[in-house]
Structure 1
Amino acid sequence: MTPIEIATAAVVLALAVSAGLVAHELAHAAVLRAAGVAYRIDWFPGEDTGVLGAGLRGRWAAVRPRATAETPAWVLRCSAMMPLALAAPFALVALGVVADPFATDGVVRFAAVGWMACALPSPQDFSVLWYADDAVAAAADEGRTDEPTGA
C-alpha cells in the first residue's frame, strides 16, 4: 500500500468506528424506546475530560435506561445485546446477495472492520445482560420508602 492508501484507510476506519459507535448506542435506545422504557442518551459523557477527551477515549455516547420496578428484565437484556444487529448486513454476504467486503483490495474492508468492531457488545453490555434482574430490583428498592408514616 502506498502512503496515501494507508492514510485513506486510516481515515475510513476512523469514520466507520465513529459512525458505528453512535449506531451501537442508538441500537440500545431503539429497544428501550420500542418497549416504552424511559432512557437518557448522554453525548460525549465524561465531565472530567470534556468533549475532546471523551471523544478520543471512544466515549461518544452512553444510553442510561431509567428502569422501574415494572420494567421487564428481558427488555434490558435485549437492549444490551441489540448492537449485534449491526452485523446483520454481513449476513447478506453469506447469502450471496452482496460481495464480501473483506475480499476487496480497496478501503471498503477497513470500513467493514470498523463497523464490525462496533457490533460487538461492550463489557458494560454484558454486565447488563447478566445482571438485569439486579437493576430492576434496585429500581424497585429506590421506589420504596422505609420511612415511618406520621402518627
Structure 2
Amino acid sequence: MTPIEILAALVALASAVSIGLVAHELAHAAVLRAAGVPHVIDWFPGSDGGLLQAGLRGEWAAVRPRPGAETPAWLLRVSAMMPLALVAPLALVPVGVVADPFASEGVARFAVLGWMACALPSPQDFSVLWYADRAVDAAAGSTAETPGTDAATDGPA
C-alpha cells in the first residue's frame, strides 16, 4: 500500500467507527422506542472536557433506558443485543446478493471492519443482557433480592 492508500484506509476506518458508534446506540434506542419504553439519548456524554475531547475518546452517544415496573426484562435484553443487527447485510455475502468487501483490494474493507467492530455488544450491553430483571425490579421499587443471586457479590449464587 502506498502512503496515500494507508491514509485513506485510516480515514475510512475512523469514519466507519465514528458513524458505527452512533448507529450502535441508535440500534438500542430503536427497540426501546418501538416498544414504548422511555429512554434518553445523551449526545457526547463525557463532554466535560469539551466535545472534541469526548469525540476523540469515542463518547459520541449513550442510551439510558428508563424502564417501568411493567417493562418486560426480555425487551431490555433484546435492546442490549440489537447492535448485532448492524452486521446483517454481511449475512447476504455468502448468498451472493452483496459483494464480499474483503475479496478485493481497497479501503472499503477497512470501513467494513470498523463498522463490524461497532456491531459488537459492549460490556454494558452484556450487563443489561444478564441483569435486565434487576433493572425492572429497581424501577418497580422492589427491594427484594432476585431469586438465585447473592447481594454481597452482585452475581449469581
Counterpart in the other structure of 2:134: 134
Please report how far the alpha carbon of residue 39 of structure 1 lies from its aligned counterpart in structure 2 after TM superposition: 0.4
SS at match of 2:62: strand
Cα distance in 1, alignment partners of residues 111 and 46 from structure 2: 27
What are the superposed Cα offsets for residues 17-71 of structure 1, whole Å, 9 maximum, x if unpaired?
A: 1111111000000000010001000000014333122111111000000111111
Question: 1:104 aligned to 2:129?
Answer: no
**Richer in helix (by share):** 1
- Taking only aligned residues, the RMSD between alpha carbons, in angstroms, comes to 1.0
Cα distance in 1 for residues equivalent to 2:66 and 2:6: 43
Aligned residues: 142
Pairing of 1:62-101 with structure 2 (within 5 A): 62-101=62-101
The two structures have a TM-score, normalised by structure 1, of 0.91
Write the deviation string for residues 54-97 of structure 1: whole angstroms up to 9, x where unpaired. 11111100000011111110110000000000000001102111
Q: Which amino acid aligns with 1:91?
A: A
- AA matched with 2:95: L
TM-score, structure 2 as length reference: 0.88
Unmatched 5+ residue regions in structure 2?
143-157
Amino acid at match of 1:105: E
Listed as ranges, the matches of 1:1-151 within 5 Å are 1-141=1-141
8 Å contact kept, 2:67–2:139: yes
Structure 2 residue matching 1:64: 3-state secondary structure: strand
Identity %: 78
* Contact 1:28–1:63 (CA under 8 A) maintained in structure 2: yes
Which letter does structure 2 place at the counterpart of 1:36? G
Q: CA deviation at 1:134?
A: 0.4
Q: State the distance in 2 between where 1:89 and 1:130 align.
A: 27
Structure 1 spans left out of the alignment, 5+ residues: 143-151
Partner of 2:67, secondary structure, is coil
Contact 2:81 2:121 (C-alpha < 8 Å) held by counterparts: yes
* Poorly superposed stretches of 4+, deviation over 6 Å: none
